[in-house]
Structure 1
Amino acid sequence: MGESIRRYLKFVKPYNWMIVLTVVIGIVKFAIPLFIPFLIKIVIDSIIGSDTMTAAEQTKQLFYWLGGTALVFFIIRPPVEYYRQYYAQYVSNKILYDIRQNLYGHLQKLSLRFYTETRAGEVISRIINDVEQTKNFVMIGLMNVWLDVATILIAIVIMLTMDIPLTIVTLLAFPFYAYSVKHFFGKLRTLTRERSQSLANVQSYLHERVAGVSVIKSFSLEDTEQKRFDDVNGKFLDKAIQHTKWNAKAFAVVNTITDVAPLLVIGYAGYQVINGSLSVGTMVAFIAYIERLYSPLRRLVNASTSLTQSFASMDRVLELMEEPYEVTDKPDARPLPAIRGKVEFDHVGFAYEEEGIPVLDDMNFTVEPGQTAALVGMSGGGKSTIVSLIPRFYDVTAGAIKIDGIDIRDIQTKSLRDQIGMVLQDSILFSDSVRSNIMMGNPDATEEEVIAAAKAANAHEFIMELPEGYDTEVGERGVKLSGGQKQRLSIARVFLKDPPMLILDEATSALDLESEALIQESLSRLAHNRTTIIVAHRLSTITHADKILVISHGELKEQGTHAELMNKQGTYYDLFKVQSV
C-alpha cells in the first residue's frame, strides 16, 4: 500500500500548497464550534452560578458572550466554510483530471495486443469508476483525516485545561478503538478490491452485450442472456454482501466502543460533582466535548471504509498505469524522411505470444516504390498480421522490416505511421459528425479539402443526401450509415491524409456489388502513384496488381503477376479457379 500511495502522491504534488491551505482553513472551521462547550461552562459556572452579580449584570454578561460568539459564526465562519469546500473540491477534481489525462495518454501508447487481451469495459471501469473512487484519498486521507485529528487534539487540550483526570477517563477507549480499526479494516481492503473487480466484470459484460444487441435479438437469445447476466450480476452481489458483512462487523464493534466511552465520562464526572470536586458547568462542558471528540472518531471510522475502497481502486488504477509498452521508440530513433515507398520483409518471423506458435516464418519479399502488391491466401494464413507489422502495431520477433532500406525499429513510430494510410475491413467511425470523421485524416484540413476528399472517395453525393450533410451525426461506430457508406468515409479520410504508402486490408470483402464497384473505383484513384499493399478476399479484384504474394500458414508460397501465377498453375491458380466457378 505504501508504494501505491507514494506513486499516487506524484499527481498530488503540484497541488500541495492548496491542500495545506485547505487543511488550515478547515482547522479554523472545526475549531470555531469547539468554543461552544467552553461557553456553556462559562454561562453555567461564571454567569448563572455567580453569587456576586445581579440579575441585570448576569443578563448583560450572557448577551455579551452570546453576541460575540454569534458574530464569529455569522461573519468569520461562512467564508471559511465556503473556501474550505471550494478548495477541497477544486483540488480533488484537478487531481482526477490529471490522472485521467495521464491514463488516456498511456492507453494511446499500448500495443494492439493489450486491447485484444483486455475487455473494453474493464478499461473504462478503471478510468471512470476506480479513478473517481481515489478522490476519497484526496478528500479524506489528505484533508478530512487531518482536520478530524486536529479537532480531537484541540478538544483534548481544552479538556486538559479544565480537568486532567476526567480527560484521562475520556481517552480510555482510544486504544480499543485503534485496535478495532486495525483489525477490521486490514481485511476490508482485500474484500473491496474483489468487489471492485466484480463490478468491472458487470460493466464489461454490459458493454459487450449492448454493442452486440443485434446478434442477441437475431438469435432470440434474450432469455439466455438474462440468465448469463444473472450469473455475472450474482457474483458481484456475493462479493458486495461479503464486503457489507465485514463492514457491518467493523462498525458494530467500533461504534459500540465510541458509544460506551461517554458513559464512563458521565459516571465519573457525576461522581465528582456529587462529592463537590467538580463544577456542574465543567461536567456539562465535558459531556459536550465528548460529542466533539467522538464525532471525529466516528468520521474516522467512515473514513477508514472510504479509504479502503480508495486504496483498492488506487491499486487498480496504478496497475493499468504499469501496463508495459510493447512497441517503443529507441532513444536514438530518428524521424522518417519523406519516403519513396520501398517495403522489404527481410527473413521476418512473428508470434503473438513470447513462446507461442509462429504466425509468420522466414517471410521474404520486396515491394518497389509505387507498386501494388496483393496478399492472398486462405483465412488465418498471416496476411493481416503482415500489414499490422508494417506500421509497427506489433514488432517482429525475427528478421526486420525496412522502408526505403531503413529498419522501421530505428525510426520514430509516429513519423512512420504519418506516412501510411490504412483502410480496413471493419470501418471504425466515431459518434461524431461526418466532417469530424473525415478530418481524422488531417485535423487541420479546410472545408474545401474535406469536400474534395469526399468526392474522390465517391462519398460526397450520399453525404449531401443526409439530413444535415457534413454535420450529420453518424452514431456510435457509424451505426446510422450502411457498410458501403462507412467504408467510403474511411477512404475519404485517407485521401485527406494523402500518404505515400497505402494498406488495404480486405476493404471491400463485406460489401454488396454496387458499393464494391464505387469503392474499387475510389481505391484505384487513391492507390495511383502510391506503394499499395492489399489484403484481398476476392481474387478478381487484384488481377491488376504488380505483384501477388500467396501466403499460407505463415509462409510465402508463391509470388508473381496474375499471368505468371496462372501459368504456373500452383496454389494461386487453384484458388482463382475455385472462386471463378
Structure 2
Amino acid sequence: MKNIARIIKLARPLYRLTFILSVLIVIGALMQLVAPVLSKFIVDEIVVQIQTGEGRLQTLYILIAASFTISLISTAITSITNRLGDHFAGRLQKFLTETFYAKILALPQSYFDSELSGRIINQLSRGILTIKGFANTSTNFILPTLLQSVLTVGILAYFSPPIAFFVFLLFPIYLYISNISARKWGKEEVKKNKLEDLGRGRIQEVISNMKLVKSANMQLNEYKYIQDNQGSINQIYAKQSGTFHRYDFVRNLSLIIIVLIVNLLVFNDAFNSVLSVGDMVLIIQLVINAQMPLFAMSFILTQLQTAESGSKEFFEILSLKESESFINKDDKFVKIDRPSIEFKNVSFTYDQSDIETLHDVNFAIKPGEKVALVGHSGAGKSTVINLLLRFYEPSKGKILINNTDYTSFSVQDIRNNISLVFQENELFSSTVRHNVMYGHPNATEEEVISALKKANAYEFVQNLAGGLDAEIGEKGIKLSGGQKQRLQIARAILADSPILILDEATSSLDSKSEQLVQEAMERLMREKLVIIIAHRFSTIQNVDKIIVIDKGRIADSGSPQDLADKQGIYSELLQYQLEGNKKLLKNFEIF
C-alpha cells in the first residue's frame, strides 16, 4: 500500500478540511446509533401502556420529540457534510491537477520523447479520479465504519453477549473474503490501466495525424486496433466482475446464515422474557445497521486496491527528477548583450542509447555572426540546437555563452535570449494574437501588427474572420502551410532576442512572399547571432560561416566560398543543387 501512504502525504495541505469533515461524519454516525436506542424506549413505553394502561405519555412524547430532534440534527449535519465534501473534492482536484501539471512542465525533454501525450493525459485523469475516490472513501466510510462496528457490537454485548459474538464474527469473515477479492481485483486493474493508456495514446496520435491516416487508407486498421484494445479491456472487466460476484456470493451466504442464527437467538430470548419488546426492536435494528459497515468494508477494500493501482503511474511521474524549475519565478531575466557561443569538447548520448549522437564537438560563433549548420540526416544538427536550448545537458564538455558556462545562467534566461522558428509549425489551437504573442504576453497590439507586417503575414490575417482574434484550429489547421510558417516568423520578430535560430524559415512561402520575408529577415538578423538551418542554397549563401556536421562530428567549417572550393559534403550539396538533382538532395537535411 505504498501509493496509499503517498496519497495521505500528498493531501497534507487539505488535512484541516479533512479533519473537519471526519468529525462531522463521526457525529453523523453516532446519531444513527442513537435513533435505535430511542426506538427501544419508545416501544417499551407503548407496550407498558397497552398491557397495563400505566404508560407515561409525557415520557413518550419527550422520547418522540428527542427522536425528531436527532433526525433533524442528523439531516443538517448530512447537508453540511455533503457541502463540505463537494468543496473538498473541488479543492483536491485543483491541487492534484496543479501538482501534476507543474511536474510535467518541469520534466526533461527526454521524457516527452518517449511518452505518448494521450497516455500522459490518461494517467493524469485516472490518477485524479482514483485519489479523489480514495479520499471520499476515507472520509465518508472508513471512520464511520470502524465507529459503527465497535459501538454496535458493544451495545449488543450489553443486551446479549451470544448475539454480539455472532455479529462480531461477521466482520473478520467479511474482511478476509473482501481482502482476497480486492487483491485479485487490483492485479487485474494494473493490466487494465496499461491497456487503457495504450488505447488513449493511440487515439490521440490518430487524431493528431488524421490526414496521414486517411491518405494511407488506414482507418480500418486503426479501428481494428482500438477494437482489439477495448476487447482486451472488456475481458479484464468481465474477469474482475466474475471474481467480485463469486466472493460476494460467499459473503452474502455467511451473512444470511449468521443473521438467521441471530434472529433465532433474539426471538428465543424475547419469547422467554429475557428481552423486552423494545430490546428486541433495538437488537434487530442494530443487526440491520451492522450490515452497512459490512457492505462498506467490501467497498473500502476494493477502493483501496483501485487507488493503489490507479495512482501508480501518477506517483511515478511525480517522483521523476525535474530538469528545471519555473514556479515562483519573477518576470525579470538576464539580457545577454552581443552573445557569443562556443561548444568545447561536447559529446552527447541520448538516454537508453550506447551510441554517441555528438562526439567531441568544437566550434565557436562570434557576436553578430551568422552561421549555417549543414549535414546528412541524423548527423547531429538537431542535437546541437537541443543542447543549446538546454532541452538536454551535454554528457561531456561545456557550452559557453560569452565565455561563461551556460549552466551559470538559468534555463529561463537562456531561452528568453533565443528566438526559434521551428521546422514543424508549432502553433496552439487559439487566436492569431495569442500565437504571435506566445512567450511575450505584454506586447502591444501595435508591436504585434508590426511583427506580422515584417513577416508578410498581416495581409492574410486581416482577411481572416476575426483578424488578430481569429481562431486558427489545432496546430493551425485552418491556415495554409505558408501562413502557419509566417506566424512563427512573426513570433520570432516580436521576441527580438539577441540569438536567432531559423529552421528553414522560408520553406513554405511562395516566391513573392519569400522575397519579402527574406528582406525582413535581413533587417531582423542585424546585430544578432544567427544560426540558420536551411535546405536551400539561397538561404545560406550570405552567412559568415558554415559548419558541416557528419556522424556527430564536425567534418568541416568555413565560409561558403571556402567550402565550395573543397571536395567535401558542402560542395556535394552545392553541386546537387546547381544540377537540380532533387533525389540526391533529399539525403541532406538540416535539423
> TM-score when scaled to structure 2?
0.91
The 1:335/1:449 distance shift into structure 2, 3 A limit, reads closer
Instruction: Work out whether 1:110 is the aligned partner of 2:107.
Output: yes
* Matched residue, 2:38: 39
2:126 alignment partner in structure 1: 129
The whole-number CA distance in structure 2 between the counterparts of 1:440 and 1:468 is: 18
Match of 1:192 among 185, 189, 192: 189
Match of 1:9 in 2: 8
Partner amino acid for 2:23? V
CA distance in 1, matches of 2:297, 2:510: 65
Please state if 1:408 is matched with 2:406: yes
State the percentage of identical aligned residues: 30
Contact 1:19 1:143 in 2 (8 A): no
Aligned match of 2:416: 418
> Which residue of 497, 500, 522 maps to 2:498?
500
Confirm or deny: 8 A CA contact 1:137 1:311 kept in the other structure.
no
Contact 1:420 1:499 in 2 (8 A): yes
CA distance in 1, matches of 2:256, 2:428: 57
Counterpart contact for 2:373–2:548, Cα < 8 Å: yes
Q: 1:79 to 1:41 in 2, by over 3 A?
A: closer
Return the alpha-carbon distance in structure 1 between the equivalents of residues 325 and 70 of structure 2.
Answer: 60
Deviations 1:419-461 (A, max 9, x none): 1111111121111111111111311222222222222222222
* Paired residue type of 1:226: Y
Cα distance in 1 for partners of 2:508, 2:526 equals 23
Q: 2:379 aligns to what?
A: 381
Contact 1:347 1:364 in 2 (8 A): yes
Q: Answer whether contact 2:175 2:297 (CA < 8 A) is retained.
A: no
State the secondary structure of the residue aligned to 1:441: coil
Q: Are 2:538 and 1:540 aligned? A: yes
CA distance 1:485–1:263, shift in 2 (3 Å): same
Q: Is the 8 A contact 2:39 2:281 kept in 1?
A: yes
Corresponding residue of 1:223: 220
Task: Kindly state the Cα deviation for residue 555 of structure 1 after the two structures are TM-superposed.
Answer: 1.8
Asked if the contact 1:422/1:504 (under 8 Å) is kept, the reply is yes
Residue 185 of structure 1 contacts residue 250 of structure 1 at CA under 8 Å; is this kept in 2? no
Alignment pair present for 1:18 and 2:17: yes
Which one is further off, 276-285 or 513-522? 513-522
Q: CA RMSD in A?
A: 2.3
| Alignment deviations for residues 162-221 of structure 1 (CA, whole Å, 9 cap, x no partner) | 333322232122221222123222232222122122111111111111111111111222
Report SS of the residue matched to 2:11.
helix
Q: Decide which of 90, 97, 103 is 2:94's aligned counterpart.
A: 97
Q: What does residue 146 of structure 1 align with?
A: 143
1:454 aligned residue (452, 455, 474):
452
Hey, what's the Cα distance between the residues in 1 that align with 2:83 and 2:513? Answer: 57
Residue equivalent to 2:82: 85
Could you tell me how far apart the structure 2 residues matched to 1:10 and 1:439 are? Answer: 39
Structure 1 residues 455 and 441, CA gap change in structure 2 (3 angstroms): farther
**Letter aligned with residue 168 of structure 1:** F
Structure 2 unaligned spans of 5+: 327-331, 580-591
* 372 and 41 in structure 1: CA distance in 2 versus 1, 3 angstrom threshold: same
Conserved in 1, the CA contact under 8 Å of 2:152 and 2:290?
Answer: yes
- Contact kept? 1:141, 1:307, Cα under 8 Å: no
- Cα 1:21/1:328, change in 2 over 3 Å: closer
Residue 533 of structure 1 aligns to a residue whose secondary structure is strand
Which residue does the alignment assign to 1:469?
467
TM-score normalised to structure 1 length: 0.93
Structure 2 residue identity aligned to 1:366: A
Q: 1:139-174 CA deviation, whole Å, 9 max, x = no partner?
A: 112442112222223333333333333222321222
- Displacement, 1:518? 4.3
After superposition, where does 1:21-420 map in structure 2 within 5 Å? Answer: 21-50=20-49, 54=53, 62-74=60-72, 76-326=73-323, 338-353=336-351, 355-420=353-418
State the partner residue of 1:552.
550
User: Which letter does structure 2 place at the counterpart of 1:485?
Assistant: Q
State the distance in 1 between where 2:449 and 2:9 align.
46
Q: Deviations over 1:323-349 (max 9, x none)?
A: 2235689xxxx9755232211111211
